Chain A
Amino acid sequence: MDDLQLDQSEIEAININGDTKNITDEEDTENEMAPPIGNSIHRSSSRPQLDLSGAAIQGNFEERDPTILLPNQSDDISHLALDIGGSLIKLVYFSRHEDRVANEKRKLSTKERFGATSSNRRSFPILGGRLHFVKFETSKINECLEFIHSKQLHRGAIDNAVIKATGGGAYKFADLFKEKLGVVIEKEDEMDCLVAGANFLLKAIRHEAFTHKEGHKEFVQIDHNDLYPYLLVNIGSGVSLIKVDGDGKFQRVSGTNVGGGTYWGLGRLLTKCKSFDELLELSQRGDNSSVDMLVGDIYGGLDYSKIGLSASTIASSFGKAISENKEIEDYRPEDISLSLLRMISYNIGQISYLTALQLGIKRIFFGGFFIRGHAYTMDTISFAIQFWSKGGAEAMFLRHEGFLGALGAFMSYEKHGLDDLRVHQLVERFPMGAPYTGGKIHGPPLGDLNEKISWMEKFVRKGTKIFAPVPMASPRTTGLGGFEAPSSKGDALRSDESNLNVGVLHLVPSLEVFPLLADPRTYEPNTVDLADPNELEYWFTVLSEHLPDLVDKAVASEGGTDDARRRGNAFARAFSAHLARLMEEPAAYGKLGLANLLELREECLREFNFFDAYSAIKQRENEASLAVLPDLLMELDSMSEETRLLTLIEGVLAANIFDWGSRACVDLYHKGTIIEIYRMSRKKMQRPWRVDNFDAFKERMGFGDKKPYFRHKRALLFVDNSGADVVLGMLPLARELLRRGTEVVLVANSLPALNDVTAMELPEIVAEAAKHCDILRRAAEAGGLLMDAMVNTQDNPSEKLSSTPLMVVENGCGSPCIDLRQVSSELAAVAKDADLVILEGMGRALHTNYNARFKCDALKLAMVKNQRLAEKLIEGNIYDCVCRYEPAC
C-alpha cells in the first residue's frame, strides 16, 4: 500500500493575495508540481537577491521586526536535516512558500470579475515557509534517499552540498549519502540537537507539551519565561537524562541502560516479535499479572498498606516466572510484552524523578522513540512519576517527540530562522497524508493532487468505510496495510501514536498577536470547549451532516466537472477521516476547539483544490444585496441619528441571518428572496435582545443623558458573510461611523471560508456601493479602495486626510472563526490606532471571542442560528440576538 507523504507544499499552496508587487513574474508561474526549492536555487545561482516576499512585508510598516524575514531569505536557506537513529530516520525539511496564488487561472478570472481593483491594496504573502516532519525506518534507508532525491531536498545548500545530521547513523551512512546524493553529511552532536529541538518546540508551539494520565491527554501551557531548568529524558535505545538550563546550556546528568533497546531487545527474544510496533501492540492485550509477582501474590491478596503498596503493585517484575514450572512457550507473548513495558517504563520514571529531585527540577519532559505517543507507555511513566513523587511531580510529553534531534540538527545551520519565530507565527496544518502516515513513508512520495486523490480512493475500493483509513489504535505498520485491519484497542490501552499527530508547521512571519487583546496570555479563542464529549459529538454530527451539501457547493463552484466531483469525494473522505480521527482522540492535533474544527474543514477543501466553494453564491448574493442597498440607505437617512443607530444595529443582526454555515438558515433561503428575508428578519429584531447592552453602547456613542458626543478615532469591523450580511448590515454601519468621523477598517478573511466575504472581494463590493453613496465613495477613495484613486495612501497619507478613510485589511486567516493570537501584520498595524472593535457573526463573535476582552471598546453582534449554542451560551433560543458591548478594559 502506498501510504505516503504528500507534498503539501504543492498541493495546498494558495493565497488570495491579489497584489503581485512583491512577487517577480517568473516565480508566479511556478508549476504546482515543481519541487518547492527549485526556484531558489535557480534564482540564487543567477544573481543573489533578497527574497522579495519578505521585503514587501517590511516596506509598509516600520514597526515590523526585521528578523522575521529570515525564513524568506532565499539564498542559503537550509532545507533538510536528518536524525538517523538505529531504527528510524527522521527528516525535518523546509519548503519555501510565498504562497502566491497557486491557481493562476483562478486569479485571472477573479481579476476579470473584479477588474484590477485590488492592485493598490496593501497585501502580503501569507506564508513564509513550511517545516515538514517525516520518518523512515532505518532499514529502508533507500526509500529515504529516494524521497530526498525526488524532492530535491539535498539541493538546499548550493555550492557545498552539506546536510546536517545527528544520531548514531550519521557516521554510518555518510558514505551512502555521498554516493547516492553527492552530499556530505555533517554530523552534529546528538545532545545539542535534542536540546535545541526541545527548546524550540517548547517555546514556539502552543500545544506541544502535554500530560498523559489514565488515557487522558491534557495540554500544558508552558510559560516561556519560566521554562528553565527542566529535565529532558530522552528514551532511545538507552536513556539520557539531560538538565537544560537554557539555549545551548545543558548537561547530561544521568541516564540508564534500561531503555527502549532493552524493551525491544528482550521483547524480541522473548516473544519473537518482528518489530517494535508489533511488540508494543502485543502489550495492549496483555495482562502482566501472569508474569509479574504482585504485592498481593506475596501477601495473600492483602494490601501491604503499611509501606503504601496496593495489592496490584508489582513486587517483582517477572517474579512469577520463577516459581512455576512453565517454559517460555507457556506464557502469552502479550503478557510478557506488557510486563516488560511496565518494568522499563516504571524504572525510567523512577530514575527520572529521583534525578529531578536531586537537582531540584520541577518539570520533566519525556521524549525519544520508546514513547512513540503510545498511550500506555506514557501512562506508565506518568504513573511512576506520580507514584514516586507522591503527586508532587508530573511527567510531560512532547507532541513532536520523535523529531527533537532532527529539528535540532536543522537549527544547527547557521541560518535557519527558527530562533526568531514566535508562537504566533507558526500555524500547524494537518493535511491528508500526514495524519495517516505521520510523515512516515512507505513508498514514493505523492507527486501531485491526482495521486493524492487516488490514494484517498483506494481506501474506498478496499471496501472499508469512509472512516476506516483512520487507524483505531495506530498504524503500527512496518510496511503495508496498517489500515486494513484496525487493531483492537485492548481495553483501556490505547496507542495514539503521536507520529500521527504531527502536522506540517507553517512558518508565517507576517502573523502577529492582535495588539488590542486585553491579556494575550490568558486569551482563549474558543468559546465552546470540545473537551466535553457531548459538545464534541454534537459538533461532529453537525459538520458531518453538512458535508454532502458542502461537497455539492464545492463541485458546483468548479462547474460540476468530473474532476471536481472526484476531488469533492476525496475531500469528503479526507474530512470524514479527520473527524473520525478526532472523535477517537480529540487531542490528536493539539487542543481542540470548535474554531479548529471549522478551520480544518476549510483547509481540507483547499487541500483538494477547492479554493472558493461558495464563489458563485457569494457573487449572486452580493449583487442582489447591492441592488437594494440604495433604498436601504435612503430609508436610513430619513431617520434621526438616534433612531438610525438602533436601526443599524438591528440591521446588522437581521442581516446576519444570511449564513450558509447554518443549517437552519440554509433552509430559510428556499423560502424567500434576500430582501424579503432581511426585512422580515429586521422586523423581528425587537428589543430587548437576549444579550442586550445596546443602551450602554448608545450612550457611549453620545446619545444617552450624559453627553458629550464621543467620536471613536478608528473602528475595526470584523465582517462575516457575503451578501446581505456585509452589504445591508455592516456597510451601512460602517457608513454611519464614517459619517461621524470615525475611520473604519473592514477586517475580512484572507482566504475564503464558507460564504464569508474575503478581503479581496471587499473593495469591489465597496466600489459598487460607493456608486450610490458619496460618503462611501469619498471614504473609499481616502482609504485607497477605489481603482481610480491611484495614489498610494500609505506613502502619502497627508494628501487624503481630507476625508475619513474606509479601509480594508485581511485578517490573516481562512476560517469562519478567528484566533486573535494570530492575525495578519496588516491588521495588527491598523489596530494600533483603533479604539473600537466590532465583531460580527457567530464565528468571530460567538464561537470564538465571545469572552475575549479588549483594551478598547468592543461590540459583539450576532444572531444565534443554532439552537444548542443559543441554549448553552445565552440560555436562549435559535434566532435570538446578541448585542454585547464592553467598554475598554
Chain B
Amino acid sequence: MENNSSKDHRLSGRLYFLKFETSKINECLDFISSKQLHCRGAQHYGFPDSDRNTIKATGGGAFKFADLFKEKLGISLDKVEEMGSLVSGANFLLKSVPSEAFTYMNGQRNYEQIDHDDLYPYLLVNIGSGVSMIKVDGDGRYERVSGTSVGGGTFWGLGKLLTKCKSFDDLLEMSHQGNNRMIDMLVGDIYGGMDYLKIGLSSTAIASSFGKAVSENKELEEYKPEDVARSLLRMISNNIGQIAYLNALRFGLKKIFFGGFFICGHAYTMDTISVAVDFWSKGEAKAMFLRHEGFLGALGAFMNYQLVEEFPYPSHLPGDDHKKPDKNLNDNGIIECHVRVSN
C-alpha cells in the first residue's frame, strides 16, 4: 500500500507484544535471535543503514545489558528516554487503539470511549517497581509531577519476604484468596464495631494496614500467607490510588490512567486501585487502565525510530466495535496496523 508521497511507504503488519522476566534475559535473547528480530534492517525495505545495527530500548536495563546485546546479537541498544517512551506509548494507544482504556469495577471491565480531542491533560500513573505520576499535556508534552517509592517492587519485595512466594504472579494469586481483616486494623476494630461516622469512615475501612500484627502475639508463620498478601496488596493499591487522586486533584486532571507491570492486567490489582480511587475521591474519579499497560515503554521506544513518523489510523485496526472486544484484543494482544515509513 503506497502512500501518495513518493518518500513514504506504508507497511502493513502486526505489532506483537511479548514479555520475559529480566532474570531470564537469555531466553529473551534467544527469542530475538530465533526470530531474527534484530536483523530487521535487512529484511525490510527502506530501513536506513544507520539503524541497521541498532535496537531502540528503554528501561533501566538498557544501560545495564547493552554489552550483553552487543556480544550476543551484535547489536547496539539505543537508549530511549524512559518517561518519554511511556508517554508516547500511552498517547498512541489512547488515540489509536479503540477499546484501549477501561474501568474496572466489581470484576467488570467497562471500556471507555476516549474522545481524542479531549484526551489531554491526563495523569499517567506508571506502577513499576516504584511509581511515577506523569501529567501529560500532549504529544511529547509531559511532566513527572509526583511518584512514590511504594510500588510494585514494594509489593513483590515485601511479599516475598513475608510469604516466601516464588513469583509475583503467585503472590497476586495468593492475595486473591486472602482476607486482610486478619492483619489490618479496621475502623471497627478500634471503635468496637461501630462506624466512625463522624469522620465518614465505615467500620470496614482499614484504619491501619498491618495494625493487627502489633497487638497479637502471633509470629509471621502463624499468619496465612494469603492474608498477608491480601493486606499488602490493599495497602499498596490504596496508597497509590490516594496519591494519584491527590495529584489529579492538584492539577485539575479528570482522567487517571494506571499502567505498569504491577497492574499486569491482573484483575486484583485493578480492582483494589479502582476501589482506592473511588474511596479517596468519594466516587468523583475513576481509575482507568490500558489493555497494553505493560508495554507503554516498549511501544514508545518503538515509535522512537526515526522512520516511524506516525502510527496507523484507528480505522485500520480490528475491534472497532468496542463493546464486543474480540479475541485479538486480549491483554497484550496483537495490534494489526500499518506503519508509515519515511525514507
Contact = CB atoms under 8 A, between A and B. Distances in A.
Nearest to B63: A300
B250 interface: yes
Interface in B131-159: 132, 144, 146, 148-154, 156-158
A347 B210 CA distance: 16
Interface string A256-271: 1111111011101110
A319 interface: yes
A276 B208 CA distance: 15
A268 B214 contact: yes
Given A260-B208, A262-B209, A265-B212, A319 B153 contact: yes
A347 B149 CA distance: 8
A317 B239 contact: no
A354 B247 CA distance: 7
A859 B85 CA distance: 74
Interface string B197-240: 01110000111111111110001100100001000000100110
Interface residues of B, number: 62
A291 B185 CA distance: 26
B198 A189 contact: yes
Interface stretch (A321-329, A424-432, A511-519): A321-329
Interface stretch (B8-16, B38-46, B160-168, B326-334): B160-168
Given A259-B208, A261-B211, A351 B153 contact: no
A141 to B, nearest CB: 14
Given A259-B208, A357-B250, A307 B83 contact: yes
A307 B144 CA distance: 7
A799 to B, nearest CB: 64
B242 interface: yes
Contacts of A42: none
A388 B247 CA distance: 11
A853 B261 CA distance: 66
Contacts of A559: none
A355 interface: yes
A741 interface: no
Given A86-B214, A316-B152, A293 B185 contact: no
A591 interface: no
B95 to A, nearest CB: 24
Contacts of B205: 257
Contacts of A521: none
Nearest to B66: A300
B207 A317 contact: no
Nearest to A336: B161
B185 A261 contact: yes
Given A257-B209, A269-B213, A322 B185 contact: no
A265 B144 contact: no
Contact of B149 (A261, A270, A315): A315
Contacts of B23: 323
Given A268-B214, A299-B60, A258 B235 contact: yes
Contact of B214 (A240, A264, A318): A264
Interface in A258-301: 258-262, 264-266, 268-270, 272, 276, 291-293, 297-300
Nearest to A320: B157
A237 B207 contact: yes
Contacts of A256: 238-239, 242
Interface string A329-351: 00100001000000100110011
A318 B238 contact: no
Contacts of A308: 144
Contacts of A313: 149
Contacts of B280: 254
Contact of B157 (A189, A252, A262, A316): A316
A871 B125 CA distance: 62
A710 interface: no
B129 interface: yes
A783 B26 CA distance: 101
B158 A321 contact: yes
Contacts of B149: 292, 313-317, 319, 343, 346
A191 interface: yes
A316 B154 contact: yes
Nearest to B207: A238
B250 A293 contact: no
Given A258-B239, A261-B208, A87 B214 contact: yes
A306 B63 contact: no
A171 interface: yes
A270 B205 CA distance: 24
Given A191-B199, A262-B209, A347 B148 contact: yes
Contacts of A272: 219-220
A262 B128 CA distance: 22
Contact of B250 (A259, A262, A354): A354
B75 interface: no
A164 B4 CA distance: 84
A168 interface: yes
Contacts of A298: 60, 129
Given A168-B190, A257-B235, A388-B146, A319 B157 contact: yes
B196 to A, nearest CB: 9
The CB with the most chain B CB atoms within 10 A, among A237, A315, A318, A321, is that of: A318
Contacts of B183: 265
Contacts of B208: 236-238, 257, 259-262, 265
B214 A350 contact: no
Contacts of B191: 168, 171
Given A265-B211, A316-B151, A354 B185 contact: no
Contacts of B213: 264-266, 268-269
Nearest to A86: B215
A673 interface: no
B130 interface: yes
Given A316-B154, A328-B161, A262 B211 contact: yes
B198 A265 contact: no
B215 A269 contact: no
B221 to A, nearest CB: 10
B283 interface: no
Given A262-B210, A265-B210, A351 B192 contact: no
Contact of B130 (A171, A293, A350): A293
Contacts of A257: 184, 205-209, 211, 235, 238
A798 interface: no
B146 to A, nearest CB: 7
B310 to A, nearest CB: 26
B246 interface: yes
A316 B148 CA distance: 8
A862 to B, nearest CB: 57
Nearest to B228: A269
A260 B207 CA distance: 11
A499 B185 CA distance: 26
A318 B154 contact: yes
Given A292-B149, A314-B149, A315-B130, 13 more contacts: A237-B185, A240-B199, A258-B239, A265-B210, A269-B220, A270-B162, A276-B214, A308-B144, A314-B130, A328-B164, A336-B161, A350-B148, A358-B249
Leading 7 A-B pairs by shortest Cβ distance = A319-B153, A261-B211, A316-B153, A261-B208, A265-B210, A321-B157, A318-B157
23 contacts: A172-B192, A237-B190, A237-B208, A237-B214, A238-B207, A252-B200, A257-B184, A257-B209, A265-B183, A265-B209, A265-B212, A269-B219, A293-B153, A306-B81, A315-B129, A316-B128, A316-B152, A317-B150, A318-B154, A319-B153, A322-B168, A343-B150, A358-B250
Interface of B: 22-23, 60, 63-64, 81, 83, 128-130, 132, 144, 146, 148-154, 156-158, 160-162, 164, 168, 183-185, 190-192, 198-200, 205-215, 219-220, 223, 228, 235, 238-239, 242-243, 246-247, 249-250, 280
Interface of A: 86-87, 168, 171-172, 189, 191, 236-238, 240, 252, 254, 256-262, 264-266, 268-270, 272, 276, 291-293, 297-300, 306-308, 313-323, 327-328, 331, 336, 343, 346-347, 350-351, 354-355, 357-358, 388
